[in-house]
Chains A and B, each alone.
Chain A
Amino acid sequence: MTEVTVTSFIILGTALFMLLNSAAVAVYAERRVAAFIQNRVGPNRVGPFGLLQPIADVLKLLLKEDVTPTEGSKFIHTVAPMIPVVTALMTVAVIPFGEGLYATDINAGVLYLLAVASLSVYGVTLAGWASNSKYSLLGGLRAAAQMVSYELPLGMAVASVVIFVGSLSVVDIAVAQENWWFVFLNPVGAIIFIIAAFAESNRTPFDLVEAEQELVGGFHTEYSSMKFGMFFLAEYMHVVINSMLMVTFFFGSYHLPFAGYWLPELSPLLKGILDVSVFVGKTAFFVFLFIWVRWTIPRFKYNQVMKLGWSRLLPISIINFLVLAAILFFFFNG
């Protein structure tokens, strides 16, 4: 592990600040893109182009009455919304945003990411249970089952990246993609990762945890005020985080395509600006992809999600891993 310096804290602080804001931007983007897809105008009244809409939203949530179900578990009901927010914030610590621009470089960073990501399911499941509502309970149970099922193909997809790099450090993975993005070397893994990431962040077509239609919001049916706001915030932070992970693992992190072959040496400042812009640009594209998919296609049924996860994605990801490992061992060994 590298030494923690003042720079690390500055980067961490900036990254957290940006992540919190990115959730607000994502909310705004979601509403505008949804409106665009649905031939509507979308929010355009609060501030220029409606840019202050997220602030108005949060203000509204803050001023709302906070209702706790009388028969529910008050303590867990209060704690549950914090879990997804905290786990989302913890993730940024190991993500490199540019060459040398990372808060910390843990040598088992990938494991840390997977571990933290899988913690967030507790928030959803506990919220579903603590609300003492049947709709919430169904939502929470669906969440638990879905997260467990998609954790595995996600892990296998990441593992198939790790064998290329030979290191569990996220920074090393980013550096290794200077010439070839892993999406070109490992396209199957990339597709599996994207699908699993959609499922992990509970977005359409895997949003049966919320299932606005049949479960009326699922796990957050009984939540109001800022407790609901935290779930809301966490959902968008997870969208952003998962987009970042897609970029980091498969889409070249902060590198331009095949940058190693043609990009000239730049001054550190210029390189830093370029790296961060490239990273942000790619992340923004995947956030857009999340939104685009959400407003276009229907959602799966519970049993279909399970079938897809266990009988399609998991075997394919394992075979993909084995095939890649064999190729690397027999042809590129040495």
Chain B
Amino acid sequence: MKLTDIQNKVHSTFFKEHQKSLYQSLEDKHTTLEELDDGDPLTTKMVLNMGPQHPATHGVLRLVLQLDGETIEKCKLDIGYLHRGVEKIAENKTYQEFMPYTDRMDYLSPYSNNVALCTAVEKIASVEVPERAQYIRMIGCELARISSHLLWLGTMVMDAGAISFFIWTFKEREKIYDVMDRIAGHRFTVSHARIGGVANDLTDEAMGSIKEFVDTFPKELKDYHKLLDRNRIFFERNEAVGVLRTEDALASGATGPLLRGSGFGLDIRKVSPYLRYNEVEFEVPTRLEGDNLARYYVRMEEMHESIRIIKQCLNKLPYGPIRTDNAKQAYPSKDEVYYSMEGMIHDFMMTDTGICPPEGAECYHSVESPKGELGYYIQSDGTGHPWRLKIKAPSFSNLQVLENILDGEMVADTVVIIGGTDPVLGEADK
């Protein structure tokens, strides 16, 4: 079946132009292949539309697959179903007002997103952040990483067919939610980081729950390893599936565990340390195989490393303020706001005008989010609103990779590979 026939047969009611160009781009992909098997006398080929409403595409990802039997000949991705214009919204908000929006970008690790925005703004406006706040942020980021990786683990193994695993990992995520609740007062969208520090100090209760989690979680991790590391079916489903070679990974801009699973040990926490990552010890897990199993190992190891980092942070956590004591740069503490005139005025000014970076200043700052390099590029015009704010989302660049590693695999592999790539559409579509 030639694809031109498909276009004649499919009567698309919605977004005709878009559908047409999508099928056209599928046809145009690897045109040499298309010419080779132009004649298909047995009509074994089929175009399968997966998503945007599909249980295993992690949100609203849409794949258009050209199948030969069970084999995917080529595939095209259609993203943008969750586009909310976040970057444009940012231009109409103060920096601090925009922060809750970042929670909704990669909604599986909100803390990393908060920190990414705050560090970028702090860089452009040269704000000094107190030591204690840095460490609290690190703890939050690493908890977010574990939370995100747990969801990846659950969904990827569930996509491979073992449904119970999802619920086991969710049990642990639930504990992280509880910890987040105690740290920030919110379970899911935490919005805990503030420009110039964090919203509130860690209470004793929060400290206790973090410590408890750090102590119990390695045991659970061990259980996961026990269940999967010697599971033949899991191995056969993941080994040599969705192989991404190092040069392809670099060429298509893969980041995070995807890149490290392909043998390139790039971790922003190591190459340009932010917060206080240069003061803690941790390894960057890297595998050479580049297949789905390598990504599994990389992420599992990262969870171990995160626990290690949190433990060190808890030991090193210094006493002191949790927000910079400069009313032009950060919100004053509530004590000041309620009991002094100046505090009240500063609080009002921060909310109304916000922090104003110098006019014409530009900066790019990236952090290592669970999905990869999450960067914020900010252009300032001297007011409290960014002139332009560009988000470099790791899921977006990782989806680029997905489109190419799916070619030649089988239908059953799609869901596992999507799981292994671990995209979050809220972030990719912005």
Contact = CB atoms under 8 A, between A and B. Distances in A.
B236 interface: yes
A31 interface: no
A38 B174 CA distance: 14
Interface string B383-398: 0000000000000000
B410 interface: yes
Interface of A is mostly: loop
B164 to A, nearest CB: 5
A205 B56 contact: no
B257 to A, nearest CB: 20
A214 B234 contact: no
Interface string B151-193: 0000001111111100110010000000000000000000000
A34 interface: yes
B233 A299 contact: yes
Interface residues of B, number: 30
Chain A interface size, as a band, is 20 to 34
A213 B158 contact: yes
A39 B161 contact: no
A174 B86 CA distance: 70
Contacts, number: 81
Given A34-B164, A297-B161, A297-B162, A214 B70 contact: no
Interface in A195-213: 204-205, 207-208, 211-213
Contacts of A232: none
Given A298-B162, A302-B412, A39 B171 contact: yes
Interface in B115-154: none
Contacts of B158: 213
A37 B184 CA distance: 33
A301 B231 contact: no
Interface in B180-238: 231, 233-234, 236-237
A134 B412 contact: no
Interface string A208-229: 1001111110000000000000
A204 B167 contact: no
A208 B412 contact: yes
B161 A204 contact: yes
Interface in A129-171: 134-135, 138, 142
A298 B163 CA distance: 8
B268 interface: no
Nearest to B412: A301
Question: Top 10 closest A-B pairs, CB basis?
Answer: A299-B161, A298-B160, A298-B161, A38-B167, A213-B56, A298-B162, A301-B412, A214-B415, A213-B415, A213-B159
Interface of B: 46, 48-50, 54-56, 70, 157-164, 167-168, 171, 231, 233-234, 236-237, 410-415
